[in-house]
Structure 1
Amino acid sequence: MCGIVGAVSLRNIVPVLVQGLQRLEYRGYDSCGVAVHTASLGVASGGGLQRARSTARVAELLEQVQRVPVQGATGIAHTRWATHGAPVQSNAHPHFSYGPKVDASSNPDAVGRVALVHNGIIENHEPLRAALQAQGYIFASQTDTEVIAHLIDSLYTGDLLTAVQAAIAQLHGAFAIAVLHHDEPHRVVAARAGSPLVLGVCQDGQEHFVASDAMALAGVTDQIIYLQEGDVVDLQLGRYCITSREGLLLTQEQRPVRTVHAHSGAAELGPYRHYMQKEIFEQPRAIADTLDGINAIVPALFGPDAAQVFTQIDSVLILACGTSYYSGCTAKYWLESIARIPTQVEVASEYRYRDSVPNPRQLIVTISQSGETADTLAALRHAQSLGHAHTLTICNVATSAMVRECALAYITRAGVEIGVASTKAFTTQLAGLFLLTLVLAQTQGRLSAEQEAAHLQAMRHLPVALQAVLALEPQLMGWAEDFARMENALFLGRGLHYPIAMEGALKLKEISYIHAEAYPAGELKHGPLALVTSAMPVVTVAPNDALLEKLKSNMQEVRARGGVLYVLADADTRIESSEGIHVIRMPEHYGALSPILHVVPLQLLAYHTACARGTDVDKPRNLAKSVTVE
């Protein structure tokens, strides 16, 4: 979601800040901005806070700062995904506080005293706003963020760290902030509670950085400290210190420096038109990397304590959001049919707001690409508060909060995923969840040596099988020409492939803006069939499994009402193309692992439909990549 970059240096840091924002563009944003302290570059007089903001792309912001110009050795920068207030320039970060009774809109000579950027949501912004207005502070935006800037100004008595610590003690909600003050030109103070923030340390000690993601600092420093909940970091020339929310100084042993290779080159498009297309075609490699080195099904794949934990559980509860939720829905079929272990799947954003019945013997499984998904983290912490000690995450980022807070983990190796619509993260999650299924089946005594060998062989063959599926792209481009003219679509699946139909519908609506819904095919006659006309394409996932004949009957229900079918069929299903039925044949039937193959054509269909409609494929409107607010 929103992105933060900040720095204290001896050089003009604006190019580095803007480059950091460009590396964070994949998270999604509506506006962007940068603020610097001009006196940090040695301006003899008149130096102060200066900013530039844009509701266009970071490239336009770069043109602004070069044209004005905006220069400083101390600065903060931000990409904003709108929550409070529309995506207009007055709501864009950084926000300034000019002090009480100063209306900067009517006073162009007003001097900014505090500059601040913020990720997250402040839940008590309304009473704070009222109290600050009573003190004479004038608000120029609709955001909750501006409240923090005025609050820090109201508490400032000569030391920015003290003011920030006093301010955050009054904040309720989730936040990561970085702050400048007019009176301290070589200082940035940052803090986090509920939103991710990292500290970048340069070995020469001449400059230090903060960012919401280590990727923002790729090429600048690979020495990273992952700030933890409640940490406050004080950056000054040549030094930094980290304190707890209570003001206790934290040592290097408590917050160690880690070498993190952010692989900025992974963000290069290469020969592809969009990152989403690139990431779809990276799936064979991503699956191979995720399964690399696995020669046996053993609990240790999920951590040194996994063997002990897995013998103590009697059920599984999966918590996730969006695409990750659909991977969990797929895993439910595997876990109950192969491991024979009762499994629930819950939308993480709903789980903690209902009365549930805790089961200390239940394994809590969270799924998240970033490991920072706010709703899923909150659900995890709620489960832990209810007494659930057995926790495991399937995650793509080894250094994320999700991994740190779960007892067990399986790290997928999808690599950096830039496109907002998840593709390779989803299929690698499925690979990790299938491994979990096999390990739990083995623990339950339900996986023979022959079955283990067969499953391992099938998983090793997945990259080759995926390459064959990707070769279907030209046929899916033909389908996309039809879909680009539509405004609605239905997706059907049965059993194990119903969640794949849901994922296909999600992909289409995310990036092409076509309204799409998915149903279990047997539910058609219970309502959705009323929607079927020749203007409502119906995508059907048709593997050769035990439900195939039932699915064929459901397809006939569609044809009898004039509906047009687009069928992804296994080769031996004997489903043929005819009037109103368009068939693409999958290269091979893949049994339990079939969902990993069947989802790829749905990704390609959504991608090429979006291209045909001319939408912003990698940055669809209103959406963000890393959802770090509730």
Structure 2
Amino acid sequence: MSRGTITLPEIGSQAEALSAAWEQLKMQQNWVRDYMANGEYDEVVFIGSGSSYYQAKVMATTFRQWLGRSAIALPSSDIFLFRDQSVARGRKVLLVGVSRSGESSEVILALNSVEELSNWSTCGITCYESSRLGLMTECLISPLGKEQSTVMTKSFSSMTYMMQAAIAQAAGGNYAEQMEKVLELQGDIVNSGRDFAESLVAANDFIKYIYLGMGAYYGLSQEVGLKLKEMSYVWTESYGTLEFRHGPKSVVEPGTLVCLLVSEQARAYELKVAEEMKAYGAFILLVTTAGGEDTAFADSVFEIGAASLSDEARTVLYLPLLQYLGFYTAMKRGVDPDHPRNLTQVVTI
């Protein structure tokens, strides 16, 4: 079997997966009303494992910013093993399980662990309506997020987008309009990201990979670093952008790729960090709304546009390029991204 024949088209079809999620959300307005728009909860806790945990981080950040209410993201295991250390006792809590397959043992154990607690309610998001998660609690369903590959790509994009769209509808204002704009842009971003990533990988041989992001892009930086690690077996690290300066920057040397997911909210500060890493010999890749005089120092700049949108709304636009970067790095190294060693689609305990 040829390498990459499953993963490549799945990355390439994520615009369609987002559109399907948007249409599905129209049929799940009761879910939006009962959970995202329901102000009776003191805390909303998004949980997941692996990539789904990084999704949860993006979701919680978006929830806090757009709704102005308390929300956190935790690994699923923190709820069933360390619940009282993780969430203050006595609060009215909504627990939101995030799982592509809906079969992750840790998510199921977490939801089961709060079943008898009167102050906890549950819901979720998955790609499989008949999964254990889909059957045990009310879930948003990303209908085209289903994947054959082990590594999450379009499922991550579509589930993240769908939850953000649900939060946007609960928040009101122009947030839903922003999410509609993302649909218009995603197809072109997928196509341009593929060509950009293929050329970047062909032209360079990196020995270290560092991903940096802040706000909603911190969880995203962890996810795209994981994509590269899963697909190609190269070591990657991810940090909050300014935090990287406090010790971790010691690993930077020639041959290091530093990829910065540039926000508009903290753009000036973030670019100062990237410029410093450039001085240490790193190859700087910036993913940003637009290049300019302030990005001229970078070795490579990928523009996604959409500067009129909020940082949170643009989140999934950052993904195609960096998923393709993992894919083409794997192909260059002779690794099959469809079947990563030691990994399975569903992790069970």
Cα displacement (A) at 1:309:
8.8
Cα drift, residue 469 of structure 1: 0.8
Unpaired runs of 5+ residues, structure 2, are: none
Does structure 2 conserve the Cα–Cα contact (< 8 Å) formed by 1:323 and 1:503?
Answer: yes
Corresponding residue number in structure 1 for 2:239: 519
Distance between the aligned counterparts of 1:552 and 1:308, measured in 2?
34
Change (3 A) 1:499 1:573: farther
Distance 1:346 1:417 in 2: 24
What pairs with 1:383-532 in structure 2 (closer than 5 Å)? 383-406=114-137, 408-441=138-171, 447=172, 451=173, 454-472=174-192, 473-482=194-203, 485-532=205-252
Q: Residues of 1 paired with 2:77 and 2:203: CA distance?
A: 35
Contact 2:241 2:270 in 1 (8 A): yes
1:32-57 superposed Cα distances (whole Å, 9 cap, x missing partner): xxxxxxxxxxxxxxxxxxxxxxxxxx
Higher gyration radius (CA): 1
Give the match for residue 272 of structure 2. Answer: 553
2: distance between equivalents of 1:518 and 1:466? 24
Report the counterpart of residue 337 of structure 2 in structure 1.
617
Residues 4 and 337 of structure 2 are in contact (CA less than 8 Å); yes or no, is this contact kept in structure 1? no
Preserved contact between residue 4 and residue 336 of structure 2 (Cα < 8 Å): no
Amino acid at match of 2:58: T
Greater per-residue strand proportion: 1
What CA distance in whole angstroms lies between the structure 1 residues aligned with 2:229 and 2:4? 20
How many angstroms apart in 2 are the aligned matches of 1:537 and 1:287? 30
CA distance in 2, matches of 1:429, 1:498: 17
Percent identical residues: 21
Give the conservation status (yes or no) of the 8 Å contact 2:41–2:93: yes
Give the distance between the partners of 1:496 and 1:355, measured in 2 at CA.
Answer: 24
SS of corresponding position for 1:471: helix
State how far apart, in whole Å, the 2-side matches of 1:608 and 1:465 are.
Answer: 23
Counterparts in 2 of 1:386 and 1:307: CA distance versus 1, 3 Å: closer
Quick one: structure 1 residues 355 and 423, their matched pair in 2 at CA, closer, same or farther if it must change by over 3 Å?
Answer: closer
User: Gapped runs of 5+ residues in structure 1?
Assistant: 1-58, 60-268, 442-446
TM-score when normalising by structure 1 = 0.51
2:201 aligned partner, one-letter code: A
CA distance in 2, matches of 1:525, 1:308: 36
Which of residues 254, 276, 287 is equivalent to 1:568? 287
CA distance in 2, matches of 1:307, 1:552: 38
Q: Is 2:300 aligned against 1:582?
A: yes
Which runs of 4 or more aligned residues in structure 1 lie more than 6 Å from their structure 2 counterparts after TM superposition? none
1:475-499 superposed Cα distances (whole Å, 9 cap, x missing partner): 211222356x334210011222111
Contact 1:326 1:500 in 2 (8 A): yes
Structural RMSD (CA): 2.4
Distance in 2 separating the partners of 1:309 and 1:471: 35
Distance, in Å, in 2 between the alignment partners of 1:605 and 1:597 is 14
Q: Are 1:276 and 1:618, in contact at CA under 8 Å, matched by a contact in 2?
A: yes
Does 1:300 pair with 2:19? no
Higher helix share: 2
TM (normalized to structure 2)? 0.90
CA contact (8 A) 2:58 2:217 kept: yes
Question: What is the DSSP-based 3-state SS (H/G/I as helix, E as strand, rest coil) of the residue aligned with 1:620?
Answer: coil
Counterparts in 2 of 1:557 and 1:308: CA distance versus 1, 3 Å = closer
The alpha carbon displacement at 1:390 in A equals: 1.3
Aligned residues: 343
Amino acid at match of 1:569: T
Report the AA paired with residue 437 of structure 1: I
